[in-house]
């Protein structure tokens, strides 16, 4: 099995308390993204509550930014419209699911392009 390098993960909590357990969950989800793309060099995640003074029933917003060399970054920012996102774990799960879909799509497009334009064989 190929040894995968760790993706550097930066996690920020805005207008909400830092949670070690949530940070561990985020870091684990980020490391699993190697399954979809092996060249991810950085992952930045922001977990935010839009208004600190109104915490009961507030919806968490999660942003995920991935850096992949030679391509445009993958950016997903959840606007916090899903009523289930009063739970930060669900908001993080949904954000990473969306990022996984983007990575799968991008990888499939790259593979299709490579199949259509194979590298020329070197004649010996």
Question: Quick one: pLDDT at residue 96?
Answer: 96
Residue 24: pLDDT over 60: yes
Per the CB < 8 A criterion, the answer to whether 27 and 61 are in contact is no
Question: Quick one: pLDDT at residue 4?
Answer: 57
Per-residue tokens: 68: 């992949």
Measured distance CA(52)–CA(58) in Å, rounded: 9
Residue 2: pLDDT over 50: no
Residue 23: pLDDT over 60: yes
Structural domain span for residue 43: 14-51+71-114
Q: Is the residue at 86 inside a domain?
A: yes
Tell me how many domains the chain contains. 1
Per the CB < 8 A criterion, the answer to whether 65 and 74 are in contact is yes
Residue 1: pLDDT over 60: no
Q: Is the residue at 88 inside a domain?
A: yes
Is 0.85 surpassed by the pTM of this model? no
Q: Is the residue at 6 inside a domain?
A: no
Report how far Cα 69 is from the mean position of its chain's Cα atoms: 15
Question: Quick one: pLDDT at residue 52?
Answer: 54
Q: Is the residue at 59 inside a domain?
A: no
Measured distance CA(63)–CA(71) in Å, rounded: 19
pLDDT digits over 39-85, tens only?
899 999 999 998 755 556 789 999 999 998 888 888 999 877 888 99
pLDDT digits over 77-106, tens only?
987 788 899 999 999 999 999 999 999 988
Any bridge partners for residue 48, and if so which?
A: 14, 61
């Amino acid at each position: 099995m190929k040894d995968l390098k760790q993706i550097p993960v930066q996690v920020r909590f805005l207008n909400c308390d830092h949670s070690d357990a949530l940070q561990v969950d985020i870091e684990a989800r980020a490391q699993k993204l190697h399954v979809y793309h092996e060249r991810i060099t950085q992952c930045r995640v922001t977990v935010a509550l839009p208004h600190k003074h109104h915490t009961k029933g507030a919806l968490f917003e999660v942003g995920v930014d991935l850096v992949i060399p030679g391509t445009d970054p993958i950016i997903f920012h959840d606007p916090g419209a899903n009523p289930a996102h009063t739970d930060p774990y669900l908001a993080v799960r949904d954000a990473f699911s969306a990022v996984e879909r983007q990575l799968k799509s991008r990888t499939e497009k790259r593979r299709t392009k490579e199949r259509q334009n194979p590298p020329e064989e070197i004649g010996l």
